[in-house]
Structure 1
Amino acid sequence: MARLLADDSNRNFTVGEVVRALGNSGGAIGNALEKLVSRGEAVRVVTNPRTYRANGATVAAAQAASVTPPTRRQSGPSSGTGPRPATPPAADATQPSPPASEPAPTTGANSGRPLPITRPNGMTYHPRELAQMPDVEALRNLRNAGVPVLLYGPPGTGKTSVIEAAFPDLITLAGDGDTEVADLIGEYTQCEGGGYEFVYGPLVTAMQEGRPLLVDDATLISPKVLAALYPAMDGRRQIQVKAHKGEKITAAEGFYVIAGHNPGVHGAVLTEALASRFSVQIQVGSDYDLAEALKIRPKAVTIARNLARLQDKGEVGWAPQLRELLAFQKVEAVLGTEAAFANLIGIAPLEDRDVVAELVRKVTGHRARPLSLGHQL
């Protein structure tokens, strides 16, 4: 890849142009280009769409690398994808193989269990079992097979975490009731010089670069807006950007759509049209065993488990998820155990606070009230 940039050092390359030249997936190419930039061996000149150029260090990187050019083949006329290598290129310092976007899960040498995976924000994700394999591996296999996935469950259960762990090249769109088609596709934006330019949205970027797109809280988005996504997910794998001269965008290989749904959130509606687009729908609940492994106070985990059982019976509407338990641990470290339990009561919905307070009393032996200010000091 460094050699490609160095051979035409005055040219700016988009990710798509490098994909067409080398034949790898868009996610792998994008990650490798960013790696060159992070090592100072290339320059990113434009962010949207991502565009790169050689610098003085690129030539040295190209000379140090020994690259075997990939053998290329043409895709079928109706596939909607670009060329792919018939045989994988030789591995080297700048060209990842296998693609960096789909790393194989690393397992412990003795236990055989998958090790934690570092997410883009630096936090670690502990894989869980799905279909008798690590969840991240299952999601990557579904992406390779082109099977869209919908993850559903209460907020804070780790839906976004597992997706980020599975797909390092992920692009995320946070959905809500105000999301518009322009937030998906793109819109004209005023330039510093005074003119206007069309800036592609996350859907177009993911299609062009062959990257996975997470539509988070998809069921909060208007069905009319989501309809703009559907042509990219079906056999056409193509959309028309009417606002940009009717431009047609065809998805590069590697493009994939995954969505998140919080059933209990007000306004979240899983329509039949949306559900039919996702062949696999996976329920995600909190991993209380993981909470214990993370050394969250056992009594807090016990309270969460009991509330989860009551929630399953329909007796309460809320139970602390892993996110709330991690927050409990942080509050405890700063304000102490008593304040952490009081805060746990306070963050519960008003209609469930009495039940939570009673469980706290039974488990801890102490009466607790929501965290609040006391008398003047």
Structure 2
Amino acid sequence: MAQVLAGDDRMTFTVTELAKALGHSGGAVGNACETLVARGEAEQIGASPRRYRATATTAQAAQHTPAPAPPGTSGPPPARKAAPPAAQAGRPDPVIRPNGMAYHPRALAKLPDVEALQKLRTAGVAVLLYGPPGTGKTSLIEAAFPDLVTVAGDGDTTVGDLVGEYTQDPGGGYTFVYGPLITAMQEGRALLLDDATLISPKVLAALYPAMDGRCQIQVKAHKGETITAAEGFYVIAGHNPGVHGAVLTEALSSRFSVQIQVGSDYDLAASLKIQPKAVRIARRLAAAQEAGDVGWAPQLRELIAFQKISDVLGMDAAFANLVGVAPLEDRDTVAHLVSTVTGRPVTALALGRQL
């Protein structure tokens, strides 16, 4: 990839053009492009379609990669790098997400979860991740698919938000701007439907033809244009069962052959050096929630926030905030547990008297 881009640093290339030059799928090429961009070894120009060009460091990166095999041939396998100590011990290295934060893989079917999702994409098996907010569903998907296009679903999401709509241009006319679904289909990218079950079933119906054997959709708003998905196009969804208004319909569920429950990894919270008492409280509340005694437990997101608050405002304020973020119906139970574990009364974080 780097060699193609560095061949003429004045040119820009689309994912499709690079895929044809290299003889690989659009999805694989898109992933490689995003990796180069994240390293500063390529630059993305534009978004619809994405175009890439070389940077000052692309040529240097190309010197450390084997020349691409011509399309239709199988070149020699790349040299296998020695696994780092953590990988040799059976623990995969963290994966850097597009926002620069590290994702620590978890086990899924005897594989690292990132690798398992990538294999399911290659096999064309759609995946639905479900679990409480803050458990890391989106983080996992971002780590697995660097070429991700995301739709943040809610009750107001329209077909136009998925497919596209006419937008007024500077000249006063109107131009049809493709939505994330069309972008992902044309460029062979992964599409995340975040909070998919908050989107109206009538809106989601526009997506279904792209997910079945047809791999096509008709854009009625744009002269009835037919869009065919490029190789690599893949749909993955997130579902928060406890969120008000979230409905997993049979039509939606049937299109996701693999459905994976995601809960908080409290062992990871401990390894991230989050205050042990906070992790202990979260574990106890999670057990109580599973038994039906409470309706809420802190997830990994709340524990990470706890540590940041503790670093800024102090431990007492962090514990008080942990009580305050609990739903009102569970707040007394949470306050009692936090007070028991810390050995002092703790109430919700609040303003005090005037200074």
Find the aligned partners of 1:276 and 1:121 in 2 and give their Cα distance. Answer: 32
What residue is the counterpart of 2:194 in the other structure? 216
Inter-partner Cα distance in structure 2 for 1:88 and 1:189: 46
The 1-side partners of 2:181 and 2:249 are apart by: 20
1:139-181 deviations in Å (ceiling 9; x for gaps):
1111111110000000000001111111111111110111111
Are 2:337 and 1:359 aligned? yes
Distance (Å, rounded) in 2 between the aligned partners of 1:332 and 1:352: 22
Structure 1 residue 112, shift from structure 2 partner: 2.3
**Match of residue 83 from structure 1:** none
Of residues 150, 153, 158, the one that matches 2:136 is: 158
Q: CA deviation at 1:19?
A: 2.6
Deviates most, 116-125 or 20-29? 20-29
Of the candidates 267, 273, 277, which is equivalent to residue 299 of structure 1? 277
Among residues 298, 303, 309, which one is paired with 1:331 in the alignment? 309
Contact 2:40 2:55 in 1 (8 A): no
Rounded to whole Å, the distance in 2 between the matches of 1:286 and 1:214 is 20
Consecutive unaligned residues of structure 2, counting only runs of 5 or more, are none
How far apart are 1:62 and its partner, in Å? 9.0
- Hey, which bits of structure 1, 4+ residues long, moved more than 6 A? 2-12, 40-43, 53-66
5 Å matches for 1:1-377? 13-33=13-33, 35=36, 44=45, 46-52=46-52, 67-72=67-72, 87=74, 108-377=86-355
2:191 partner SS: strand
What's the Cα RMSD here? 3.1
The superposition leaves residues 182-241 of structure 1 with CA deviations (integer Å, 9 ceiling, x where unpaired) of 111111222233332221111111111111111000000000000011111111111111
In structure 2, what residue type is equivalent to 1:364? T
Structure 2 letter corresponding to 1:24: H
- Alpha-carbon offset, residue 323 of structure 1: 0.3
Amino acid at match of 1:299: K
| Larger CA deviation: 271-280 vs 18-27 | 18-27
Output the amino acid matched with 1:29: V
Which amino acid is 2:256 matched to? F
2:201 aligned partner, one-letter code: P
Q: For structure 1, which runs of at least 5 residues remain unmatched after alignment?
A: 73-85, 92-96, 99-104
The one-letter amino acid of 2:74's match is: T
Structure-2-length-normalised TM-score: 0.89
For 2:299 and 2:50, locate their aligned partners in 1 and report how far apart those are by CA, in whole Å.
37
Please name the residue that 1:82 is paired with: none
- The answer to whether the 8 A contact 1:213-1:256 is kept is yes
1:101 aligns to what?
Answer: none
Give the match's secondary structure for 2:280. Answer: helix
- 2-structure distance, mates of 1:55, 1:301: 44
1:70 deviation in Å? Answer: 2.1
Q: CA shift at 1:309, angstroms? A: 1.0
Structure 2 CA distance, aligned partners of 1:166 and 1:189?
Answer: 33
How many pairs does the alignment contain? 352
Which shows bigger deviation, 201-210 or 215-224?
Answer: 201-210
Letter of the structure 2 residue corresponding to residue 200 of structure 1: Y
- Residue 253 of structure 1 deviates from its aligned partner by 1.2
Amino acid at match of 2:255: R
1:7, distance to aligned residue in structure 2 (A):
8.4
| CA distance, structure 1, for counterparts of residue 100 and residue 32 of structure 2 | 19
Structure 2 distance, partners of 1:349, 1:119, is 31
Paired letter, 2:142: E
Spell out, residue by residue over 1:81-136, the C-alpha distance to the aligned partner (whole angstroms, 9 max, x if none): xxxxx535987xxxxx99xxxxxx97725422111111111111111111111111
Q: Distance in 2 between matches of 1:134 and 1:63?
A: 30
Identity of matched residues, %:
69
Contact 2:31 2:145 in 1 (8 A): no
| Counterpart Cα distance in 2 of 1:3 and 1:305 | 50
Q: Deviations over 1:23-67 (max 9, x none)?
A: 3222333355563798687772x3212235789999999999974
